[in-house]
Structure 1
Amino acid sequence: MHQIELVQVTKSYGAAHVIHGVSMQIEQGEFTVFVGPSGCGKSTLLRMIAGLEEITDGDLFIGGVRMNDTEPSERGVAMVFQSYALYPHMTVAENMSFGLRMAKAPKAEIEEKVARAAAILQLTPLLDRKPAALSGGQRQRVAIGRAIVRNPDVFLFDEPLSNLDAELRVQTRVEIAKLHQTLKNTIIYVTHDQTEAMTLADKIVVLRAGRVEQIGSPVALYEDPDNAFVAGFIGSPRMNFMQAAVAADGQSLEFAGVSLPCPTLSTPLAPGSNLLVGLRPEHLDEAEGVAFSARADVVEHLGATAYVHAALPDGAVVVAEKRKTAARVGDVIEMRFDPANMRFFTPDGARIR
C-alpha cells in the first residue's frame, strides 16, 4: 500500500484550472520533491495534500484512506512553511510545544517530545530564547521542530529555505537530509531550486503549468529526461540545445558545423527532418571525441570549474571546463563530446529515443 496516492487530482478556481489530472504514488519513508518554475502548481498541490486547499476532483489517499473531506489536523501530516510563523512573545520551547499544549497533551509528554526534537535539531541551548534572538536558520529549525513534536506520518515542506542566504541554505539543506535519515518519515518538499531537488530527493516530480512532466529519481531525470523541458530544468547550468538537420539521404546528422552518422534510435529520424540535439555543459569538455569550435563570449570562474558561454552561428552553448587554464573572452575554443551523451528532441521538445 502506498503511503500517499493521488488519483487524477484537479484544482480549479472558478474558470481558472491550475492542477490538471495529477496522479502519483509516494511510498513510506520516501523523500519526494515537487519542483518546477514559479506558478506551476507545486505549492497548491502540497496544500491540497495538507487539506489547506479543497480538491476539485479526483482522490487523495493517505495510508490507504481517502482524505478528500478529512480535516487537516486529522490527516497525520505536519507542514513547514516558507515563513517561519513563530510567535514572537514565546520562547523556542513554547513555540515548539504550542500544538501539543492546545491539544492538552500531558506535560511530561510535551517536555519529552520538545527535548527530543531540540536534540535532533541542535536547539537545546536555545530553548529559552525568543525568535528575535535567533538567526534565520535557527528560526527555520524551530519551525521544523514544531512539526517534529507532532510525530506526523508525513512532513510537508513548502519552500522552507527561500528566506535564507546562500550559506544558510546549504547548511539547512544538509540538516534536513540528516533529519530524514534520522526520522525516516515520509517527506514531500516543494522547491523551485533544482539543486535542492537533486541533492535531497529519492523521487522528483517535475511540474509545469499544473501537469506532471516526469517522475523519477534524480539520476533518471538527469540522464534520461522525457522532454526538453525536463532536460533543461534539471541540471545547472541547463542542457545545451542545438538545431540539427537530418540529411536528405537520411544517413547523416548535421549541427554546429559537425556531421555525424545518423544515430540508431527506436524512432528512426526522417530524412530531411529538423530536430534538437541536447548536450550537457560537462559533456562538451571531453579529452577525446567529436570536435567543434566556437568563440568564448563570457567566462564565469567558479574555482575548480569555469563556465564558458560560447557563440554558435545559430545560437549559443555553455561549456563546463575543468582544465586548470580556462578560456578567455574572445578565444576560439574547441569543444569535444562523446556522441553517446547526445539526447534528441523534436522541435517542440518531445524526446526521441
Structure 2
Amino acid sequence: MSNLTLKNLKKSYGAVEVIKGVDLAITPGEFVVFVGPSGCGKSTLLRMIAGLEVVTSGTIEIADRDVTQLEPYDRGIAMVFQSYALYPHMTVAENMGFALRLAGHAKPERRKAVEEAARILQIGHLLDRKPAQLSGGQRQRVAIGRSIVRQPDVFLFDEPLSNLDAELRVQTRIEIARLHQTLDTTMIYVTHDQTEAMTLADRIVVLRGGIIEQVGAPTDLYDDPDNAFVAGFIGSPAMNFLPCVAASANEVTVAGLTIALPQLQTQLRQGESMKMGIRPEHLNGTNGPSVAMKIDVVEQLGATAFVHGMLGGDLPLLVEARAMRPKAGDMINVPFDPQHVFLFDANGDRIR
C-alpha cells in the first residue's frame, strides 16, 4: 500500500487553466473517487497522476517519492481505461501477462501472476480465449487483471464501466469493491456517475471547473454539503432547490409556508433572499409544517414512487413516496422537516 499526495497541482493548455491548484492527500489503501460533471477536470487530473499529461506546476508524490517528472512506467501505477484496449490476436492469459513479458519476467513467473489475478477476478476458465469470445464485462475484468499482475502501488480507473449496460455496471461495480477489499491497495477512480462514487468510495473528491469543491466520506457529503453544487450533485434523485426569504433570525418563508430552523447558528437578516434545499426522500415524513401540492407526474418504481408537482403554481418539487400509491391529479400534503432543510446564500455557499 502506498500514499499519494498532490501539492498545488496545476495544468494549463496555453492560456486556459483546467486544473487550478489541487491539494490532496490520499492514505495507503484508500479508495478515492473523483466525481464531477463533464469538463470539470477529473480525467485530466487522473492522467496527470498517471504521467499521461505533463504537469504545468506543482508536485505528485507516490509512496513519498516525487514522481512528477517520471515516465508512467516508473511511477508504480497501473491504469484501467474506459476502453478495454485488449490485443485481439492474444489470448486472455497473453493479454494479462504482456506487461510482465515486456519487463523480461520469465514465463513461469508470468503464468503464476496471471493465474493468481484470474483467480481473484474469477476468470480462470477464460485464460485460453480471445477477446472476441468474451462479453463486455469479461473484457473489463481482463483489463483489470492486466493491471493486477503488475502489482502497482496505485490503481487508476478512468470511467471503467461506461461501456457496460446497466446490469453489468452494477455487477462489475460490486466486483471492483470486492477487489479493493482483497488487494487492499490504493485506488483512484474517476466517474461522472455519483451512484458509483457513493457506493465505492472511502472518500469522494467533488470537482468543478478544475478545483476541489469538497472532499469527504460519501455520507458526509450527503448529510453535510458545503455548498449548493455538492448538495445537488451528490444524491439520486437530486436535491430540491426552492427560493425562500428570511422571515426572522431563524425562520424562512417558502411558497407561503414559514419554517422555523432552530438549529441555525447564523442569524438571518429579515427579508434576505436565499435558496432552500431539501431532498425528495425527506418530504414524506410527518414532522414540520406542510403545504398542499397537486401531483403532475408519477414515476412508479415499485417500492417507491417519484412524485412531481408544483408549489404555488411555479415552483417544481420532487417527492419520494414510499407508503402510498399516488396518481397524477391527486392532492398530497408535503411536510418540510426543519432538521432536513439546508440553506444556501446567493453565491451557493451553505448557511449553517
Q: Partners of 1:204 and 1:15 in 2: how far apart?
A: 29
Amino acid at match of 1:294: M
Q: Secondary structure at the match of 1:8?
A: strand
8 Å contact from structure 1 (residues 9, 20) kept in 2: yes
- 2:338 aligned with 1:339: yes
The match for 1:269 is: 268
Q: Partners of 2:229 and 2:250 in 1: how far apart?
A: 28
Q: Partners of 2:96 and 2:119 in 1: how far apart?
A: 13
The match for 1:170 is: 170
Q: Secondary structure at the match of 1:52?
A: coil
Q: Partners of 2:210 and 2:29 in 1: how far apart?
A: 25
Greater displacement, 262-271 / 141-150: 262-271
After superposition, give the CA deviation of every residue in 1:287-344 in whole Å (9 maximum; x if it has no partner): 3432112111111111101001111234211111111x32111212111232111111
Matches within 5 A, 1:40-55: 40-55=40-55
The match for 1:260 is: 259
Q: Partners of 2:138 and 2:256 in 1: how far apart?
A: 54
Q: TM-score, normalised by structure 1?
A: 0.97
The match for 1:318 is: 318
8 Å contact from structure 1 (residues 250, 272) kept in 2: no
8 Å contact from structure 1 (residues 275, 344) kept in 2: yes
8 Å contact from structure 1 (residues 35, 207) kept in 2: yes
Q: Secondary structure at the match of 2:308?
A: strand
The match for 1:143 is: 143
Q: Secondary structure at the match of 2:316?
A: strand
8 Å contact from structure 1 (residues 250, 262) kept in 2: no
- 2:99 aligned with 1:94: no
Q: Partners of 1:180 and 1:165 in 2: how far apart?
A: 22
Q: Partners of 1:275 and 1:2 in 2: how far apart?
A: 44
Q: Secondary structure at the match of 2:111?
A: helix
8 Å contact from structure 2 (residues 31, 187) kept in 1: yes
| CA-CA distance at 1:246 after TM superposition | 1.1
Amino acid at match of 1:102: L
Amino acid at match of 2:306: Y
Amino acid at match of 2:331: V
The match for 1:113 is: 113
- 2:334 aligned with 1:349: no
Q: Secondary structure at the match of 2:253?
A: strand
After superposition, give the CA deviation of every residue in 1:193-220 in whole Å (9 maximum; x if it has no partner): 0000000000000000111000000000
Amino acid at match of 1:103: A
Classify 1:251/1:152 alpha carbon distance in 2 versus 1 (closer, same or farther; 3 Å).
closer
Q: Partners of 2:56 and 2:250 in 1: how far apart?
A: 51
Q: Partners of 1:285 and 1:13 in 2: how far apart?
A: 48
8 Å contact from structure 2 (residues 2, 153) kept in 1: no
Q: Partners of 1:214 and 1:257 in 2: how far apart?
A: 33
8 Å contact from structure 1 (residues 300, 308) kept in 2: yes
Classify 1:262/1:29 alpha carbon distance in 2 versus 1 (closer, same or farther; 3 Å).
closer
The match for 1:68 is: 68
The match for 1:306 is: 305
| CA-CA distance at 1:2 after TM superposition | 7.4
Q: Secondary structure at the match of 2:339?
A: helix
8 Å contact from structure 1 (residues 246, 262) kept in 2: no
Classify 1:71/1:216 alpha carbon distance in 2 versus 1 (closer, same or farther; 3 Å).
same
Amino acid at match of 1:192: H
The match for 1:129 is: 129
The match for 2:152 is: 152
Classify 1:2/1:266 alpha carbon distance in 2 versus 1 (closer, same or farther; 3 Å).
farther
The match for 2:291 is: 292
Q: Partners of 2:2 and 2:341 in 1: how far apart?
A: 36
Classify 1:264/1:123 alpha carbon distance in 2 versus 1 (closer, same or farther; 3 Å).
closer
| CA-CA distance at 1:262 after TM superposition | 4.9
Classify 1:215/1:269 alpha carbon distance in 2 versus 1 (closer, same or farther; 3 Å).
same
Q: Partners of 1:302 and 1:198 in 2: how far apart?
A: 21
Amino acid at match of 1:238: A
Matches within 5 A, 1:3-82: 3-82=3-82
Q: Partners of 2:273 and 2:328 in 1: how far apart?
A: 31
After superposition, give the CA deviation of every residue in 1:224-245 in whole Å (9 maximum; x if it has no partner): 0000000000000001111110
Amino acid at match of 1:327: P
Greater displacement, 64-73 / 217-226: 64-73
Classify 1:103/1:291 alpha carbon distance in 2 versus 1 (closer, same or farther; 3 Å).
same
Greater displacement, 328-337 / 301-310: 328-337
The match for 1:217 is: 217
Structure 1 gap ranges (5+): none
